Amino acid sequence: MLEIIVSVLGAFGGAAAVGAVVAKFVSDHVSKEWLQRQKSQLDTVLETHKASLSRETEAHKLTLKRQEMLYAREVAAADALMKLCRRIYPKYSRPDMDWHDAGEAVACRLEVVEREAEDFLEEHSPIVSDEVLRLVEEIKASAADAKFYVQERDGEADPQSIEVGQNIMTKLREAKDQIRKDLRR
């Protein structure tokens, strides 16, 4: 009887060992298959995320390139406005020259002022701020209106034209200050 019990236990033990081996094999196969599915899903998500990041990076690069080009044009407009100021503002021509004399010098060159302002607007109006645009347009309009009414006598312009010249210089200074603020924003 002992032999039967030992052979039955041996049979069950052998079956248990075979069952354990089969269970391990099935477990390993199922876990590998599960890991492959998970890896495949993660790879898909990763590739989608990489593509999204790549698109965002390209969009940011284009935005930065555009901003760089706009800034370069803003700097060019600021340079042009500074040159415009130097061309319109009268040169310091005598030791006792004052604001009235400067206004008179500008009043005697209103046609040139109009043309210079128009040239500036033609080239830079799309890029300058609304405030600078408004000021330069006012300078051009003032010069255009007043150039027909300048009355010179003995090398002097009339008081109304001198006032227009002074107003033009004031607006030029305001435009120059504004464009500097615009560049520093």
The Cβ-side half-sphere exposure at 150, using a 13 Å CA radius, reads 25
Helix (H) and strand (E) counts for the chain?
A: 5, 0
Closest by CA to 137, choosing from 177, 171, 182, is 171
Q: What is the pLDDT of residue 165?
A: 93
Cα 63 from Cα 99, distance rounded (Å) = 46
DSSP string, 52-90: HHHHHHHHHHHHHHHHHHHHHHHHHHHHHHHHHHHHHSP
pLDDT at 87: 93
Residue 166 and residue 102 in contact, taking contact as beta carbons nearer than 8 Å: yes
139: Cβ–Cβ under 8 A, 6 or more apart, which residues? 113, 117, 168, 171, 172, 175
The 10 Å CB-count burial string (b at 16+, else e) for 2-32 is eeeeeeeeeeeeeeeeeeeeeeeeeeeeeee
pLDDT at residue 155 in the model? 60
185 residues of the chain, pLDDT tens digit each: 657 655 655 655 655 655 665 567 777 777 788 888 888 898 899 999 999 999 999 999 999 999 999 999 999 999 999 999 999 999 887 788 898 889 989 998 899 999 999 999 999 999 999 999 999 999 999 999 988 877 666 567 788 888 999 999 999 999 999 999 999 88
Q: How many CB atoms lie within 10 A of CB 87?
A: 13
Q: What is the pLDDT of residue 19?
A: 60
Residues 6 or more apart in contact with residue 128 via CB below 8 angstroms:
74, 77, 81, 136, 179, 182
- Count of other CB atoms within 10 angstroms of residue 114: 20
| pLDDT for the residue 146 | 87
User: CA separation (Å) from 117 to 19, 96, 120, 166?
Assistant: 96, 28, 5, 16
